[in-house]
């Protein structure tokens, strides 16, 4: 059973734990064994916490044996992106500047995972401070895509996506500022959800851009994402942007969707998020998925969101502006790395310069410089101010589109996973990966990526579903319906076809 445990979805594992056929210690050990076997190839994890995970598992098993009423996911192990702070467990955000830092507190979402009894397997690799689309900007080496070890797993949350795709963890936490949950989901064949802004507490997330950041689930099925989203979501008084309202029923929405009836649902295809720049196989799978939704009773309408064409430009002014301010706290005095100047006086300013010079990577420096420039007195209105106006126009585009459609859809990413190094020297080419995911962050609306097949190159493709703010349940309904329909066509979930691929077979040995 041990090797099979890692192939179960979180819901299946939860059922096995509940009926006593598996213990949490067995399940946790099976995933730790899998990590030990394959993570040398993948580098999904920056830190593995064997002892803590097994201790939590043993505690949950004891509570279950004592007849306690447990959360449905109690005992199901999880991996957490290293941008989320974990008490007593190293947290680096993929940066040298935080090497060796042990947070003294837990993020709210981590508190909720712990309270529900989910053993935390460890912390996953990521682009430094979540800046990137390939995980090549991590200070701790690349994570490789389990579908092809020569290719990127997406970013910034490549570690969480690769861990879930390679059966190292049934569940993971990601964060999405411009697409870092959804784009890695698309290129690894996993499900990724960016909740409504304010839907999941940001308390304890190391901020990149506070008005855009959201944490969310990384899973292999839509139903698993719903379970995890309901657990980590909901109001938190420690995050002033947290929504103080009950969340819609996500597990129930996924259950209804899986039943396969979408009649009465209007699905809007965003004209600006397709066509030129999208790989042929990505577009082909997208069209087929639209047909699937139509065959389930959905009405497909075309909508236009004209300002989406400027989303990337606005994002790459707003995000670096906020990042430059958020990253000012890494000054060599408070957290992690401290570097004293090689010669000359040791003043606060010179320690700060030496620490930041040594501790930050090139992409982080690039964005800090861009951000401080955009916010500087002479340019504030021209750059930051204009970007904020575009942001408003994009929000209005969403408002108008949602009067004509209940959900909006597009391919999640324009291409499948690219090879290492392909876009590393060309920041603009790298930024273009998020052309379809960024509008949701600028407007605060929720987005989901569901695997919808393989492109001509044999690599996974994702289907993006967007819903109005606070209507996350709609994505779960549509995502679960599409997933069920596709699995019927394929005869199995997409990821169970991965072992046919050479690298997955090698990994499985
Ligand atoms: N790839 C985008 C960026 O580099 C988004 C990153 C993210 O969502 N964290 O900013």
- DSSP conformation letters of 374-443: HHSTTTTIIIIIHHHHHHHHHHHHHHHHHHH-SEEEEESSSSSPPBTTTTTT-HHHHHGGGTTTHHHHHH
Sheet holding 266-270, edge to edge: 45-48, 120-124, 78-81, 171-176, 214-219, 191-194, 447-454, 460-466, 407-411, 266-270, 299-303
User: How many angstroms is it from 430 CA to the middle of ligand 1?
Assistant: 10
User: How many angstroms is it from 216 CA to the middle of ligand 1?
Assistant: 14
Q: What is the pLDDT of residue 404?
A: 98
Q: What is the pLDDT of residue 220?
A: 96
Residue 192 Cβ contacting ligand 1 at under 6 Å: no
With the most atoms of ligand 1 within 8 angstroms of its CB, the residue from 81, 82, 131 to mutate is 131
* Residue 10 · residue 170 · CB < 8 Å: yes
Closest ligand 1 atom to the C-alpha of 130?
A: 9
Return the active site residues. Answer: 81, 156, 180
Q: What is the pLDDT of residue 494?
A: 81
Per-chain mean pLDDT for the chain:
95
- 8-state DSSP, 308: G
Residue 131 Cβ contacting ligand 1 at under 6 Å: yes
Residue 177 Cβ contacting ligand 1 at under 6 Å: yes
pTM of the model: 0.97
Closest ligand 1 atom to the C-alpha of 181?
A: 8
Q: What is the pLDDT of residue 179?
A: 98
With the most atoms of ligand 1 within 8 angstroms of its CB, the residue from 153, 178, 314, 414 to mutate is 178
Residue 157 Cβ contacting ligand 1 at under 6 Å: no
User: How many angstroms is it from 157 CA to the middle of ligand 1?
Assistant: 9
User: How many angstroms is it from 75 CA to the middle of ligand 1?
Assistant: 31
pLDDT in tens, 250-275: 999 999 999 999 999 999 999 999 88
Residue 178 Cβ contacting ligand 1 at under 6 Å: yes
Residue 434 Cβ contacting ligand 1 at under 6 Å: yes
With the most atoms of ligand 1 within 8 angstroms of its CB, the residue from 181, 319, 423, 430 to mutate is 319
Angle at the Cα of 14 (from 89 to 154), degrees rounded to 5? 55
Q: What is the pLDDT of residue 114?
A: 98
- Start-to-end CA distance of the chain, whole Å, equals 16
Residue 136 Cβ contacting ligand 1 at under 6 Å: no
Residue 176 Cβ contacting ligand 1 at under 6 Å: yes
Residue 156 Cβ contacting ligand 1 at under 6 Å: yes
How far, in Å, CA of 156 to CA of 303, rounded? Answer: 29
User: How many angstroms is it from 177 CA to the middle of ligand 1?
Assistant: 5
- 8-state DSSP, 275: S
User: How many angstroms is it from 132 CA to the middle of ligand 1?
Assistant: 5
Q: Which tokens go with 55?
A: 């201790």
Residue 268 Cβ contacting ligand 1 at under 6 Å: no
* Domain residue limits, the chain: 2-308+392-508
Segments of the chain scoring below 50 in pLDDT: 1-2, 499-502, 505, 509
Closest ligand 1 atom to the C-alpha of 179?
A: 8
How far, in Å, CA of 470 to CA of 4, rounded? Answer: 37
How far, in Å, CA of 259 to CA of 485, rounded? Answer: 10
Q: Which tokens go with 442?
A: 């600028």
User: How many angstroms is it from 361 CA to the middle of ligand 1?
Assistant: 15
* Residue 54 · residue 12 · CB < 8 Å: no
CATH (residue range 2-308+392-508):
3.90.1300.10
């Amino acid at each position: 059973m041990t090797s099979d445990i890692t192939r179960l979805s979180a819901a299946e594992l939860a059922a096995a734990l509940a009926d006593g056929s598996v213990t949490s210690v067995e399940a946790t050990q099976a995933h730790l064994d899998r990590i030990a076997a394959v993570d040398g190839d993948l580098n999904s994890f920056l830190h593995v916490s064997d002892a803590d995970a097994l201790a939590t598992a043993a505690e949950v098993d004891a509570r279950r044996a004592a007849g306690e009423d447990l959360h449905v996911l109690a005992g199901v192990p999880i991996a957490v992106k290293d941008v989320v702070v974990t008490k007593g467990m190293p947290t680096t955000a993929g940066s040298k500047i935080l090497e060796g830092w042990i947070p003294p507190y837990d993020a709210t979402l981590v508190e909720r995972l712990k309270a529900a009894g989910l053993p935390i397997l460890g912390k996953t690799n990521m682009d430094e401070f979540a800046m990137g689309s390939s995980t090549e900007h991590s200070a701790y080496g690349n994570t490789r895509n389990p579908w092809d070890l020569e290719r990127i797993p997406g970013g910034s949350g490549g570690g969480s996506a690769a861990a879930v795709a390679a059966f190292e963890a049934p569940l993971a936490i990601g964060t999405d500022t411009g697409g870092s949950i959804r784009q890695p989901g698309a290129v690894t064949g996993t499900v990724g959800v960016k909740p409504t802004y304010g839907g999941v507490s940001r308390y304890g997330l190391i901020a990149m851009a506070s008005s855009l950041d959201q944490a969310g689930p990384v899973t292999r099925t839509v139903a698993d994402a719903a379970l995890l989203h309901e657990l980590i979501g909901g109001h938190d008084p420690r995050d002033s942007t947290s929504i103080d309202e009950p969340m819609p029923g996500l597990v129930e929405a996924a259950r209804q969707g899986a039943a396969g009836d979408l009649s009465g649902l209007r699905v809007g295809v965003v004209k600006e998020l397709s066509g030129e720049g999208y790989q042929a196989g990505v577009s082909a799978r997208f069209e087929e998925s639209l047909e699937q939704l139509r065959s389930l009773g959905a009405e497909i309408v075309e909508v236009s969101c004209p300002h989406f064409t400027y989303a990337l430009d606005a994002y790459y002014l707003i995000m670096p502006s906020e990042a430059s301010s958020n990253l000012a706290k890494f000054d060599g005095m408070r957290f992690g790395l401290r570097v004293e100047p090689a010669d000359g006086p040791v003043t606060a300013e010179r320690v700060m310069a030496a620490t930041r010079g040594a501790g930050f990577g090139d992409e982080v420096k690039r964005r800090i410089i861009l951000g401080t420039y955009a916010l500087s007195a002479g340019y504030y209105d021209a750059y930051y101010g204009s970007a904020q106006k575009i942001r408003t126009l994009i929000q209005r585009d969403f408002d108008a589109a949602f009067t004509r459609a209940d959900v909006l859809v597009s391919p999640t990413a324009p291409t499948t996973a690219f090879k290492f190094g392909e876009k590393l020297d060309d920041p603009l080419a790298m930024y273009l990966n998020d052309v379809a995911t960024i509008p949701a962050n600028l407007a605060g609306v929720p987005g989901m990526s569901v695997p919808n097949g393989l492109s001509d190159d044999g690599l996974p493709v994702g289907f993006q579903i967007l819903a109005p703010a606070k209507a996350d349940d709609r994505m779960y309904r549509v995502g679960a319906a599409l997933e069920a329909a596709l699995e019927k066509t394929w005869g199995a979930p997409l990821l169970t076809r991965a072992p046919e691929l050479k690298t997955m077979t090698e990994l499985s040995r």
